[in-house]
Amino acid sequence: MSKNFYITTPIYYPSAKPHMGHAYSSIVADFFARIKRIQGYNVFFLTGTDEHGQKIQRAAEKANKDPLKFCDEISKTFKDLSSILNLSNDDFIRTTEKRHFISVENLWNILEKKGEIYLSKYAGWYSVSDEAFYNDDEIDTVNGKKICKSSGSPVEWVEEESFFFKLSKWQDKLLKFYSENPKFILPETRKNEVISFVKSGLKDLSISRKSFSWGIKVPSNKDHVIYVWLDALTNYLSALNYPDEKNNLFKNFWPANIHLIGKDILRFHAVYWPAFLLAAGIKPPLRVYGHGWILSGEEKMSKSKGNILDPIEIIKVYGLDALRYYLLKEVSFGNDGSISKEKLENCINSDLANNYGNLCQRVIAFCEKNIGLEIPSTDKFNNDDLNILNNFSSNIDNIIDKIDNQNINYYIDFVVGQLFNANKYFNDQAPWTKKSDTKRLNTIVYVSLELIRKISILLYPVMPQTTLKVLSIFSINEKQINFSSITDNKFLKEKMKISKLDILFKKINKND
């Protein structure tokens, strides 16, 4: 089995500064990148910005800026957000980079050479905000204005000479591809939407525009710029130094294991992208996962609705790991979810301060007071000890399988369950009542410290900063974290010094 793992986020439009929805996609991708790394995979995690097309050109014009300068500024805010979110991305690609031009031009040339592209005229609807062409049946009229039914974005009528990709020819091949690769699109409900869209009939796709200039020129006809989605999707190859298919990055990481995206851009990733790739003779990615939206109140966040939640503001008040934990645990992955200060505060109090924070704090404080700051020596484990410790080894294959199917909620629920059990174990065993039986007292503390270690490893992909703080008391650093060590019940070495632990999460007093 290959031990390489390539995961991508969508590349974001730098038309306005990032919001919570963008942060969500990135945090989820980071969770998977980190979990795969601690499982021993060689991971490549890519994010970046999608900088061409009419949407960006218009935003730059509105700001009275040269488009590249405009993109430089806003792309930087996305790059900065990556560090603020503590993303472990290996690369940050911008579609205005030379390496990307080379890759897109090459893909275009191959498609042209293979006879997959022809010149004709486009007459139809276009949404600049979605950068998408729509059929008549996808359009509605609201207050005299034409909009796209599914996204609600305004559309305009476009008539211009355009190059077309022979998408219609790929309809049956795509359907065959989906049925041969039943987990190519997840979750299942989204897969069904895509299949019915493809079955309803694919028309050839316009893949160039002539009425503006901000983009990559068609190599054989400089009057046209390449359609921004063909340009953008190719970023996943550019970052691997495509077209050099012999270089190690490409050899190790293509096809991508998972393109993580929002459900709004499924059609581009699950229909157009595999069609382009199949037509060019390149393997399609292994999976496209379309997650739900983070709603502000009951609505999708958008600049026009003025309901944007700024992740940086939330992080300033509540801390990064609390936000990461909330988004990964409280949103049912694949479905829409919402965030509010109240829900976040409840989650911090009940799960982080009372559960994880409390377990770490009280066990270590007890250890310090009664044993000293070192790992105690153990007696033989009794059944209570073994039952709780062995929960990890008996569930490891199951949780890995759930993660490989992107079942984040199952994973976190498992960890929260173990946290609850660990607190209960410490309470029930009541080591403070065992002061006359040092061996038993020591063993209970040892088991509790092992549970803290195991749980912290499982929580590391969710809350890297906090768990690293906890693991550092056992002198375990990030490079030493090994997922399979959760099956080891005697990892901690007796007599090894441990250090003190500061408060991890402060309880939020709602009356403040």
Torsion, Cα of 275, 31, 16, 104 (10° steps): -30
Closest distance of CB 355 from ligand MSP, Å: 27
Closest separation between CB of residue 309 and ligand MSP, Å?
9
Contact 251, 245 (CB under 8 A): yes
- Residue 246 has φ and ψ, to the nearest 5°, of -95, -10
The correct pick among 218, 233, 237, 444 for binding ligand MSP (CB under 6 A) is 233
Q: Candidates 8-16, 310-318, 416-424, 430-438 — which segment interacts with ligand MSP by CB under 6 A?
A: 8-16
For 204, the token pair is 């050839």
**C-beta of 224 vs 269, nearer to ligand MSP:** 269
CB nearer ligand MSP, residue 305 or residue 316: 305
464 sits near ligand MSP (criterion: CB under 6 A): no
Measured in residues, the chain has a length of: 512
Say whether the peptide bond before residue 14 is cis (omega within 30 degrees of 0).
no
H, E, C per residue of 456-491: HHHHCCCCHHHHHHHHHCCCCCHHHCCHHHHHCCCC
Please select the residue that binds ligand MSP; options are 264, 330, 374, 379, rule is CB under 6 A: 264
402-408, long-range: CB < 8 A, 24+ apart: 403/32, 403/35, 405/183, 405/186, 406/32, 406/186, 406/187, 406/258, 406/289, 406/333, 406/334, 407/333, 408/28, 408/31, 408/328, 408/333
Per CB under 6 A, which region of 11-19, 79-87, 244-252, 421-429 contacts ligand MSP?
Answer: 11-19
Q: Which is nearer to ligand MSP, 25 or 429 (CB)?
A: 25
CB of 171 to ligand MSP, least distance (A): 22
Distance of alpha carbon 276 from alpha carbon 401, whole angstroms: 31
Rounded Cα gap, residues 315 and 3, in angstroms: 34
The answer to whether 121 touches 163, Cβ cutoff 8 Å, is no
Binder of ligand MSP out of 5, 6, 24, 227 (CB under 6 A): 24
How many amino acids of this chain bind ligand MSP (CB under 6 A)?
20
- Of 105 and 130, which has the nearer Cβ to ligand MSP? 130
For ligand MSP, the nearest residue by Cβ is 21
Compute the least distance from the CB of residue 32 to ligand MSP, in Å. 14
Q: Which residues inside 278-337 make contact with ligand MSP, applying CB under 6 A?
A: 293-294, 300-301
| CB 481, min distance to ligand MSP, A | 27
| Binding interface with ligand MSP (CB under 6 A) | 10-13, 21-22, 24-25, 50, 232-233, 235, 261-262, 264-265, 293-294, 300-301
